[in-house]
Copies of this chain bind each other. A is one copy, B any other.
Amino acid sequence: MKNVALFGAGRIGRIHASNLAALPGVKLKYVSDPMEGPARELAQQLGAEVASVEAIFADKSVDAVAICSSTTTHSDLILRAAAAGKNIFCEKPVDLSVQRAKACADAVKAAGVACMIGFQRRFDPTFNEASRRLAAGEIGKPEMLVITSRDPGAPPVDYIKASGGVFRDMLIHDFDVFRWILCADGDEAAWISATGSVLTEPALEGLDFDSAAVTIRTRRGRICQIGASRRAAYGYDQRFEVLGSEGLLQCANQTPTNVVQWNGSGIHTDKPEHFFLQRYAAAYKLEITHFFDCLQSGQPFRTTVADGVAAQMLADAATESARTGQPVAF
């Protein structure tokens, strides 16, 4: 039985908590959150105890920690967990600073603990199947990747101010998808160009972008295009398509139902799942299962702290490119 402590009893923390609590051989022992109310409620619901950060790291019986607290606490908790010899599951991002993210990677390595970063898209059944079939050679060698990444609506301006900007907060997932899909054989980003606009959230003017486009060229000449928006009127739009030498693999959105209505104004189907909690519900379960399966088997994680650092570097470069209007070469 693996004892686990959870940091962060917010939205994503609750998802991971209930998923891991349902796994055989895993026990959610502690919940920790600066806000006592949510921590107590979640702990009670899942038969865990509320504990302080210190108490958790001091408890030798804790095998692993799940870091689902706010972004600014990630790197500190990773460093302390590594020092305490705990295995780590950490929500993206490692840290908004590439330097601190790298320090985390170093610490994890030095401590010899396992550290997985929660890039849940890699566990989405549709995305994952596309990746598997690409790796199996179904469309030959990959050439171009087009990622569509649109949210149903922007978060509050205060959140955005602290988020590191759209490339670090939102496109970080897409940078990881780029690396997963186009760079699986050792290829790497060589050139990145990004641009952004304020089209949907006037309050962001001068602060950030709500609409963004990124192009990445790899060393082998493969090309990735990412188009992103903080607000799509029809909801959460998460697609990608990869063109290969022998065909195309395309990932369509997931819908709540398969009902089709035909009437005088046309033929109508469901919008995509509302937002990430719905779209990635299966992915969150598969992701945390993967974490504990790997701890058990000793197999490497599919998404490591190095992946977190690499995605962060792309986000930094995109941020700079969009600011200056000039591409960045690696």
| A residues apposed to B, CB below 8 Å | 22, 125-126, 129-130, 133, 138-140, 143-144, 146, 148, 150, 191, 193, 195, 197-200, 211-213, 215, 217, 221-223, 225, 227, 229, 232-235, 237, 243-254, 256-271, 325-327, 329
Contact = CB atoms under 8 A, between A and B. Distances in A.
18 contacts: A133-B261, A143-B229, A191-B325, A193-B193, A197-B217, A213-B223, A215-B215, A223-B227, A234-B262, A234-B267, A247-B263, A248-B261, A249-B260, A250-B261, A251-B259, A266-B269, A267-B268, A326-B326
Contacts of A143: 199-200, 211, 229
Contact of A195 (B133, B150, B223, B237): B223
A2 to B, nearest CB: 19
A175 to B, nearest CB: 16
A229 B271 contact: no
A248 B234 contact: yes
B243 A229 contact: yes
Contacts of A212: 223
B233 A261 contact: no
A195 B217 contact: yes
A200 B245 contact: yes
Contacts of A325: 191, 327, 329
B257 A129 contact: yes
A250 B237 CA distance: 13
A299 B89 CA distance: 43
Contacts of A146: 146, 148, 225, 227
Contact of A243 (B130, B133, B144, B150): B150
A138 B246 contact: no
A198 B143 CA distance: 10
A258 B126 contact: yes
A268 to B, nearest CB: 5
Given A211-B223, A249-B259, A267 B270 contact: yes
Contacts of A221: 197-199, 211
Given A197-B222, A199-B222, A223-B213, A232 B248 contact: yes
A149 to B, nearest CB: 11
A198 B220 CA distance: 9
B264 A266 contact: no
Contacts of A22: 22
Given A129-B256, A144-B199, A266-B271, 18 more contacts: A126-B257, A126-B258, A126-B259, A139-B263, A144-B211, A198-B221, A200-B245, A213-B217, A215-B215, A223-B227, A247-B263, A247-B264, A248-B260, A248-B263, A250-B260, A261-B266, A268-B269, A326-B326
Contacts of A138: 261, 263
Contacts of A271: 262, 264-267
Contacts of A267: 234, 268-271
A152 to B, nearest CB: 10
B264 A260 contact: no
A150 B268 CA distance: 19
A268 B232 CA distance: 16
Closest 6 CB pairs of A and B: A247-B263, A197-B221, A248-B262, A252-B258, A234-B262, A250-B260
